Structure 1
């Protein structure tokens, strides 16, 4: 966009500042690091129930179906909250929205420090999910105010790595607390860490200078939400990421119990083993972001550099995961699980930039939030399905293997849908034609002062 917020010839958008599309403002990577930490806390909060799964089930005398419900409960308000907040950030600065979300996370952890019932734990996880539902979409929207379109893949990858490092760094520490003290104190520690991030963001967090959403809302052409939400790339992003999130939500809830109950490892060993999928996934995410930007710099279309690059690993990962029931030995089964699910991370890097390609800036917060709300429905379904399958299986291990086979099928299907539907470069052209008459009308209009 020009200084008035109109589209450029290349179809890319900037905001109202004088910064050109090739420049990255000073402080952009500081904000990126803070938002990386934001996502680190976010995923540490998510993983704690799965990490403490066996002690929780033992202390509260829970059946697998009940524990599956607990895992799913986190997502009951996740999607609704994501959509509501997504529209809010079209008008409210992301700095204050991010601050509010982090406060909710921290406060939702402290009730678990004392004696707690299953109902209290369930309610706190629902509240936490409502606070964390909008997290990634709001953080993405915030970070895109600091980077032009062609430079967004790498910061998106760094942001996504907050999830991996939230597990890699938090799991050993939290597991030590669980083993040496109590699972109750693991929740309390996360509440304290959340409040520390709140203080850091109050001191250093700022709004990006490349886009002024309120000004753009008054000047840039709008595209009807129905057209954006039914565009094939939007549908493709939801479908592809749904499969990835199925695997992720199983990892958050059932990976550690599988290591202990299915493969026979101790709680102490499960702590470091639980980090393996996230270490591998972190490598995949960073590589995807780097490769995507290199491909685009060399002239590749975003269909290839984003759509194909994100979808193919889902298909390959699903096929690898499908081999688990057909091999022997805990080590080999674990390796297939780590590699198969770790490949899913590629899709998280490419989908938000693809949506940003064709969505007007003043509508982007809502569109990315709705995208997140829809694919995270997998988080409600997957843990419950795994719990039901385990409880009804002939043996614990057979139940886990059936659940991972279902996961493999979902991943392959979602990856194939991504390959079929993800065409962001042509989507932008088609939707821009729709918005062009509106842009002409705006140019001739006198805006109120």
Structure 2
């Protein structure tokens, strides 16, 4: 049995693994963004309607949630190192059919396979990172992991857009397949399992909480609902933002590539600030209700209110600014929810609970692109359709933030679930073993 490090101490090599998993999420989101970035060329070449393109965007999420749940239970018993390796291989191979001439059906099938491979990605990566950091030090590495999404877009969009403009959208998919295989090689050589609970056997005597109690706890429900609203905005950004810049505001494909990275740059700033502020608040004695729950949900409410202003301004720079800031604020919730769930979930159940959380909130990824496509298709003009779709987004985002603000009380959740006396202080000591 592995000797457990002292509570609060970060094992050697933890930040190397964090960096590799950050790159894992970079590849993950580069894979996600390519269809949205190449949306107009794909629609033009394949003769797709707005509804069909919305369905294409949603197809990615068809098996996303199911895969996340299945793999979540698998990582309770199988080393995350090997699960992550298999997931990345699936992503890479799913890209190569698009290099040549491809039918709409084949494109949809490949996106479904890609979604199945990427569904468990964040939850498995978070579970892997938590084997390297004790509870009080998890917010910052979670923020860094989350930033893989933003940097995946920031780094990939200029490169992929150059390939799309100068070659074709087909070659952009091939480039992503090659990059994915390069990560596989790096992880095979350097990836390791964390020493803070290597196997479920090391926590065999830890009390288990029935899954029904965990999944119906107010903090779990609050995390799912709040992140559902945030992911609605993210899904629209992945699928429709570049098309909106071109079809709604009249930018060229080349110009749209540069504009498309702005929400992700702002979102990256929000996520990193949230992670840093949360750690400072926890060190200063704030409860995790404040340092995680309130800190994560309030930006959703503010962001939704900002997005609601879009129909009131003229097309142009101000509209882009409102869209960038409003949607970018949703990033705060991704940083705080996994650590909140980790506070009260036993280690032997944590992988599954985080995976189920991810599976439930990403249902919005299945709905949002499809709803937007339907709204645009039946609107009087494309611009009117886009604005209606973003107004729906605003209402969902603000509403989810309010529900999160009411329900996120992680610092008292463990005691409620187990009947333990609640200790003084911010976090429940021992709520999740640092091992």
Q: CA deviation at 1:435?
A: 12
Cα distance in 2, alignment partners of residues 38 and 18 from structure 1: 27
TM-score by length of 1: 0.93
Contact 1:216 1:361 in 2 (8 A): no
Alignment of 1:265-304 (within 5 A): 265-304=251-290
Give CA-to-partner distance per residue, 1:144-174, whole Å, 9 cap, x none.
0000000000000000000000000000000
- 1:100 counterpart = 2:78: no
Could you tell me which residue of structure 2 aligns to residue 444 of structure 1? Answer: none
TM alignment of 1:327-338, pairs within 5 A = 327-338=313-324
Q: CA deviation at 1:200?
A: 0.0
Any conservation in 2 of the 1:78–1:132 contact (CA below 8 Å)?
A: yes
CA contact (8 A) 1:243 1:378 kept: yes
SS of the counterpart of 1:17?
A: coil
In the aligned structure 1, how far is the partner of 2:315 from the partner of 2:86? 47
Aligned twin of 2:105: 119
Instruction: Tell me which residue corresponds to 2:385.
Output: 399
> Which of 59, 64, 78 matches 2:50?
64
Q: Does 1:414 align with 2:386?
A: no
Q: Quick one: distance in 1 between partners of 2:149 and 2:355? A: 17
Offset of 1:18 from its aligned partner?
3.1
The 5 Å alignment of 1:194-233 reads 194-233=180-219
Q: How does 1:43-82 map to 2 (within 5 A)?
A: 43-82=29-68
CA-to-aligned-CA distance 1:61-80 (integer Å, 9 cap, x gap): 00000000000000000000
Give, in whole Å, the separation in 2 of the partners of 1:213 and 1:318.
42
Deviations 1:286-338 (A, max 9, x none): 00000000000000000000000000000000000000000113100000000
User: Size of the alignment, in residue pairs?
Assistant: 422
Alignment partner for residue 255 of structure 1, among 241, 253, 256?
241
Deviations along 1:113-145, whole A, 9 cap, x unmatched? Answer: 000000000000000000000000000000000
1:349 counterpart = 2:329: no
In 1, distance between residues paired with 2:199 and 2:381?
55
Give structure 1 stretches of 5+ with no counterpart. Answer: 4-15, 437-449
Is contact 1:86–1:138 with CA below 8 Å preserved after alignment?
yes
Structure 1 residue aligned with 2:15: 29
Query: Which one of the candidate residues 156, 159, 167 is aligned to 1:181?
Result: 167
- Where do 1:238-253 residues align within 5 Å? 238-253=224-239
| CA-to-aligned-CA distance 1:349-403 (integer Å, 9 cap, x gap) | 0000000000000100000000000000000100000000000000000000000
- Does 218-227 or 332-341 show the bigger shift? 218-227
Match of 2:4 in 1: 18
Once the two structures are TM-superposed, the CA of residue 217 in structure 1 deviates from its matched residue by: 4.7
Q: Distance in 1 between matches of 2:158 and 2:245?
A: 15
**How far has the Cα of 1:432 moved from its partner?**
3.2
Question: How far is the alpha carbon of 1:431 from its aligned partner?
Answer: 1.9
Distance 1:75 1:394 in 2: 29
Q: Is the 8 A contact 1:213 1:361 kept in 2?
A: no
Contact 1:303 1:422 in 2 (8 A): yes
Change over 3 Å in CA distance of 1:229–1:434 after alignment to 2: farther
Alpha-carbon contact 1:223-1:435 (below 8 Å) kept: no
Contact 2:197 2:203 in 1 (8 A): no
Secondary structure of the structure 1 residue equivalent to 2:204:
helix
Match of 2:359 among 373, 376, 387: 373
Separation in structure 1 between the aligned mates of residue 204 and residue 371 of structure 2, nearest angstrom: 46
Q: Is contact 1:28-1:146 (8 Å) kept? A: yes
CA distance in structure 2 between the aligned counterparts of 1:244 and 1:263, rounded to whole angstroms: 24
- Does 2:427 correspond to 1:427? no
Could you tell me which residue of structure 1 aligns to residue 96 of structure 2?
110
- 1:388 is matched with 374
CA RMSD of aligned residues (A): 1.2
Deviation of the 1:404 alpha carbon: 0.1
* 1:221–1:435 contact (8 Å) kept in structure 2: no
Give the C-alpha shift of residue 261 in structure 1.
Answer: 0.2
**1:353-364 to 2 correspondence within 5 Å?**
353-364=339-350
Query: What TM-score do you get using the length of structure 2 for normalisation?
Result: 0.96
Q: Deviations over 1:154-207 (max 9, x none)?
A: 000000000000000000000000000000000000000000000000000000
Distance 2:65 2:74 in 1: 14
Aligned residue for 2:308? Answer: 322
Q: Match of 1:219, SS?
A: coil
Aligned structure 1 segments of 4 or more residues deviating by more than 3 angstroms: none
In structure 2, the gaps of 5 or more residues are 423-435
2:296 matched residue in structure 1: 310
Q: Is the 8 A contact 1:50 1:254 kept in 2?
A: yes
